[in-house]
Chain A
């Protein structure tokens, strides 16, 4: 398994690996997988150096709902300056907070619609939590570029041919690298139409509670 170790190291250094597959006349398809070859949903691909055509005021208010003690969606991609509303669809209260540099805030115990949507002025990653429900984790990716894509269930992201050549950044909530870091990649005009990208991830440890611990001890 020595070779795998070497490859893994390499991937960790680069953040991703490219494999040329076949030439397509139209768009470039990125297929994002983890190190085990599993497609990665919710990978975020941001095209850098593009013109920002849309202004903040025009941006719609996004919804980060809370359903069944989960953030829905788990990952929300927002434009810099875009507002996000945090409605509570559960019949219990939540205390949504963020200690992330991009936007620290808290919405203290509330139910239903909060008074105001939260505006995310800075780009970056915002990790959302609920103070009274430790298991709730949500992410808001605040992109500086309007050309930001989120991989689908098959880990597929399409980039128009016309955008080439382009620099992209790659990010995934579970990436092994520090959360704020993004992997950068350049795609040339001559690039093959399909690229396979591997992002090394960590499986998130289950959020232990005291109960778990005691239960585990009692079982002994």
Chain B
């Protein structure tokens, strides 16, 4: 769930909002604190200025009052007369005029001459006071007279030289402090520490009231803990050295705390509101974004199932999503198109456009469900390979196209279908022609096909073989039908027929062959005694010894039935199994020769091989390896090759034979005399031995002609340097004749039939005994 895009978007949005909120909250906190701090500082500065202005105004008033007093001629006159009562009344009068609370007249030495309140007694040291005040001439100072704080100024009375000093002052009472508070909004406290006089604007005071500690220590309990109520500024006032007077300005912070807290709560509320809005909007956004994605995902799944039709999707999507949907639609169409191409290509032959073999199988399966009789015709172009070789593959391809065209023409007319099922094989299937003779229809097709073709300005005649199978009589299943029609066309090819109608049982024969190939393969690999070698002795006429054998393969199947060597060798050659079979034979024979040699029997063994064996590239190496493994001299092995084989693959064959001869293996030309070996060719062959075909020997003692042929051939062989072997000796007469003709070796039933190893060994013992 947490991995879904929707949740990620929501988390991202909410995270951003949260981050923004926290950052703005922090910056708000910082700036507000800063602002408050500055505001308070500014307020205090303003208050300080107001206070200074106030005091300056007062001072100015004082100065004016004092100057008016000291400049008054009458007053001067009174002072000059030193008439105490007059002076006192003058002072009183002036104090009333300017509302001064104190007015004193001091002589030059600082003695009190008179005051506006004659009865008042001052405990102050006026000399000291005067000295200090004169130092700040024309500036007011704060002094305490009799427990009251005054702002005073001292001015000389000149007549015109200084004759006395006049001190004029205003009382600083709590009301003054309150008045200042009203002006500045701050609590003002005048503190004369050494005199213990405090004048403060604070109305409700604790007892004892010590402004410094009270204003500095007073706290209030707020949202963020205990906070000081006041911000203070302590200012020194002009005063006497030993009687300092300070003013303490105290800004009440409660209001700003409240404002700050209100702002803070407002911001927190706004932050929560923003987060809620953020969650809602991001959910909507995520939904809008992910909805088309899931639609596209289901579309993709639909494509995967092979359904490429696209339903119209909502038009409200954004451009990007629309583009994506369009791309999906296009992709679906393209895939569909390509899939059709691919499936067409998969089912059809690219050259002719016909079905291929596997598609044909499917189509046939589908069509055969209908209750309709069909005729299957397989057509093989004979000798197409020659056309390809001689005229080039392009001409071959064009031939195939032309043939396909004619087949299509024919079968389309009948409402059938057709396939190319091999390089030069076609299959056409059409409803069986009921009204006409079938055999008339198919020869008609063959006639059409065999008509001359004009390919690239060449007139080409093609010959065809056709196999015919009928459905449902000759098969129910499509694969059976196809196999049978192919068997039929194969038969037609091998038997050089034009048309071969499938006969019941041909398929079973074919299957039997296949089964036999399987068994042979098994027998070779298992080497369990089904296959074994027999040996037919050859008598050396000169020595009257048996010094050669011909090895012959036999196969007795597990069920005990014998398979003729011609049949299974033929099958082996067809199926390519011949290579393994030959290897097995060579291995078995060489091993046996080795064993005999160990037992003191010096026996040369001949092995029959086909031209295909000799041509196989590994043959030579395998033979050499086997000889080496069993420590058998190559001269003990003779390779027998029929005359026909040797002639058919002359070049390659001779080369292979020469390389065999080079290692010491003997070469024998089998069945000599019935083939087409000219004498001219015979002299070229790298052979050691001629083996006369048994047709000349079987009735040698009865046929004079045979005697002439055999005698002259033996003479010819000897003269060409070959030894000569006669096989098929069945009578003593024949043997005697051959002896007379100086044949080198004889072989035949007269001596012995081919024998299994142990029997042969036994026979050999017996044969040698009388000698």
What distance in Å separates the Cβ of B652 from its nearest Cβ neighbour in chain A?
A: 132
State whether the Cβ of B272 lies closer than 8 Å to any Cβ in chain A. Answer: no
Smallest CB gap from A178: residue in B: B108
What distance in Å separates the Cβ of A179 from its nearest Cβ neighbour in chain B?
A: 6
Complex contacts, B137 vs chain A, CB 8 Å = 205
Question: Are B56 and A213 touching (Cβ within 8 A)?
Answer: no
Complex contacts, A207 vs chain B, CB 8 Å = 158, 160
State whether the Cβ of B60 lies closer than 8 Å to any Cβ in chain A. Answer: yes
- Cβ 8 A contact of B80, one of A104, A134, A137, A217: A104
State whether the Cβ of A210 lies closer than 8 Å to any Cβ in chain B. Answer: yes
State whether the Cβ of A72 lies closer than 8 Å to any Cβ in chain B. Answer: no
- Cβ 8 A contact of B160, one of A136, A178, A214: A136
State whether the Cβ of A29 lies closer than 8 Å to any Cβ in chain B. Answer: no
Stretch in contact with the other chain, from B70-78, B121-129, B680-688: B70-78
Q: A134-B158, A134-B160, A210-B67 are in contact. Are A217 and B56 (CB under 8 A)?
A: yes
- Cβ 8 A contact of B161, one of A179, A210, A217: A179
Question: Are A131 and B63 touching (Cβ within 8 A)?
Answer: no
What distance in Å separates the Cβ of A39 from its nearest Cβ neighbour in chain B?
A: 23
Complex contacts, B159 vs chain A, CB 8 Å = 99, 127, 129
State whether the Cβ of A190 lies closer than 8 Å to any Cβ in chain B. Answer: no
State whether the Cβ of A208 lies closer than 8 Å to any Cβ in chain B. Answer: yes
A215→B108 CA distance, assembly (Å): 28
Interface string of A123-143 (1 = CB under 8 A from B): 000011111001011000000
Q: How many residues of A contact B (CB 8 A)?
A: 20
Q: A129-B159, A137-B160, A207-B158 are in contact. Are A99 and B77 (CB under 8 A)?
A: yes
A130→B137 CA distance, assembly (Å): 24
State whether the Cβ of B138 lies closer than 8 Å to any Cβ in chain A. Answer: yes
Question: Are A131 and B73 touching (Cβ within 8 A)?
Answer: yes
State whether the Cβ of B324 lies closer than 8 Å to any Cβ in chain A. Answer: no
Complex contacts, A136 vs chain B, CB 8 Å = 160
- Cβ 8 A contact of B60, one of A127, A178, A217: A217
State whether the Cβ of B270 lies closer than 8 Å to any Cβ in chain A. Answer: no
Smallest CB gap from A130: residue in B: B160
A211→B158 CA distance, assembly (Å): 17
Question: Are B71 and A213 touching (Cβ within 8 A)?
Answer: no
A18→B472 CA distance, assembly (Å): 172
What distance in Å separates the Cβ of A59 from its nearest Cβ neighbour in chain B?
A: 26
What distance in Å separates the Cβ of A94 from its nearest Cβ neighbour in chain B?
A: 12
What distance in Å separates the Cβ of B299 from its nearest Cβ neighbour in chain A?
A: 86
A179→B162 CA distance, assembly (Å): 10
Q: How many residues of B contact A (CB 8 A)?
A: 19
A residues 85-112 touching B (CB-CB < 8 Å): 97, 99, 104
Question: Are B71 and A134 touching (Cβ within 8 A)?
Answer: yes
Smallest CB gap from B60: residue in A: A217
Question: Are B67 and A127 touching (Cβ within 8 A)?
Answer: no
Complex contacts, B73 vs chain A, CB 8 Å = 97, 131
Question: Are A208 and B138 touching (Cβ within 8 A)?
Answer: yes
Smallest CB gap from A99: residue in B: B80
* Interface-central residue, A134, A205, A208, by most chain B CB under 10 Å: A208
A213→B63 CA distance, assembly (Å): 8
What distance in Å separates the Cβ of A193 from its nearest Cβ neighbour in chain B?
A: 36
> How would you classify the secondary structure of chain A's contact residues: helix, strand, loop or mixed?
mixed
State whether the Cβ of B193 lies closer than 8 Å to any Cβ in chain A. Answer: no
Smallest CB gap from A136: residue in B: B160
Smallest CB gap from B77: residue in A: A99
What distance in Å separates the Cβ of A153 from its nearest Cβ neighbour in chain B?
A: 23
A131→B64 CA distance, assembly (Å): 18
Interface string of B117-135 (1 = CB under 8 A from A): 0000000000000000000
B residues 55-103 touching A (CB-CB < 8 Å): 56, 60, 63-64, 67, 71, 73, 76-77, 80-81
Smallest CB gap from A125: residue in B: B161
A99→B159 CA distance, assembly (Å): 7
- Cβ 8 A contact of A127, one of B81, B108, B161: B161
Question: Are B160 and A210 touching (Cβ within 8 A)?
Answer: no
A208→B138 CA distance, assembly (Å): 10
Question: Are B67 and A213 touching (Cβ within 8 A)?
Answer: yes
Question: Are A137 and B161 touching (Cβ within 8 A)?
Answer: yes
State whether the Cβ of B23 lies closer than 8 Å to any Cβ in chain A. Answer: no
* Interface-central residue, B64, B77, B160, B163, by most chain A CB under 10 Å: B160
Complex contacts, B71 vs chain A, CB 8 Å = 134
Q: A134-B158, A217-B56 are in contact. Are A99 and B67 (CB under 8 A)?
A: no
A137→B158 CA distance, assembly (Å): 10
Complex contacts, B76 vs chain A, CB 8 Å = 99
Interface string of B161-193 (1 = CB under 8 A from A): 101000000000000000000000000000000
* Interface-central residue, A99, A129, A178, by most chain B CB under 10 Å: A99
A136→B138 CA distance, assembly (Å): 21
Smallest CB gap from B71: residue in A: A134
Question: Are B138 and A213 touching (Cβ within 8 A)?
Answer: yes
Smallest CB gap from B68: residue in A: A210
Smallest CB gap from B161: residue in A: A127
A151→B10 CA distance, assembly (Å): 106
Complex contacts, B108 vs chain A, CB 8 Å = 178
Complex contacts, B163 vs chain A, CB 8 Å = 99
Smallest CB gap from B163: residue in A: A99
A33→B161 CA distance, assembly (Å): 22
Smallest CB gap from A216: residue in B: B138
Interface string of A198-215 (1 = CB under 8 A from B): 000000010110100110
What distance in Å separates the Cβ of B701 from its nearest Cβ neighbour in chain A?
A: 170
Smallest CB gap from B63: residue in A: A213
Complex contacts, A214 vs chain B, CB 8 Å = 60
A97→B56 CA distance, assembly (Å): 35
What distance in Å separates the Cβ of A156 from its nearest Cβ neighbour in chain B?
A: 26
What distance in Å separates the Cβ of B53 from its nearest Cβ neighbour in chain A?
A: 11
A104→B73 CA distance, assembly (Å): 14
Smallest CB gap from A213: residue in B: B63
Question: Are A127 and B160 touching (Cβ within 8 A)?
Answer: yes
B residues 230-271 touching A (CB-CB < 8 Å): none
A residues 167-181 touching B (CB-CB < 8 Å): 178-179
Complex contacts, B67 vs chain A, CB 8 Å = 208, 210, 213
A178→B161 CA distance, assembly (Å): 11
What distance in Å separates the Cβ of B52 from its nearest Cβ neighbour in chain A?
A: 10
A121→B63 CA distance, assembly (Å): 39
Complex contacts, A179 vs chain B, CB 8 Å = 161
Smallest CB gap from A220: residue in B: B56
What distance in Å separates the Cβ of A72 from its nearest Cβ neighbour in chain B?
A: 16
What distance in Å separates the Cβ of A42 from its nearest Cβ neighbour in chain B?
A: 15
Smallest CB gap from A133: residue in B: B160
Complex contacts, B80 vs chain A, CB 8 Å = 99, 104
Smallest CB gap from B109: residue in A: A178
Interface string of B461-489 (1 = CB under 8 A from A): 00000000000000000000000000000
Complex contacts, B160 vs chain A, CB 8 Å = 127-130, 134, 136-137, 207
Question: Are B64 and A210 touching (Cβ within 8 A)?
Answer: yes
What distance in Å separates the Cβ of A100 from its nearest Cβ neighbour in chain B?
A: 9
A214→B77 CA distance, assembly (Å): 26
A179→B64 CA distance, assembly (Å): 28
Smallest CB gap from B162: residue in A: A205
Complex contacts, A217 vs chain B, CB 8 Å = 56, 60
Chain A to chain B: the 7 pairs with minimum beta-carbon distance, closest first: A129-B160, A99-B80, A99-B159, A137-B160, A131-B73, A127-B161, A210-B67
Residues of A within 8 A of B (CB): 97, 99, 104, 127-131, 134, 136-137, 178-179, 205, 207-208, 210, 213-214, 217
Sample of 8 A–B contacts (CB below 8 Å): A104-B80, A136-B160, A207-B158, A210-B63, A213-B60, A213-B63, A213-B64, A213-B138
Known: A130-B160, A217-B56; 11 extra A-B contacts, CB below 8 A, are A97-B73, A99-B76, A99-B77, A129-B159, A134-B158, A136-B160, A137-B160, A179-B161, A207-B160, A208-B138, A213-B64
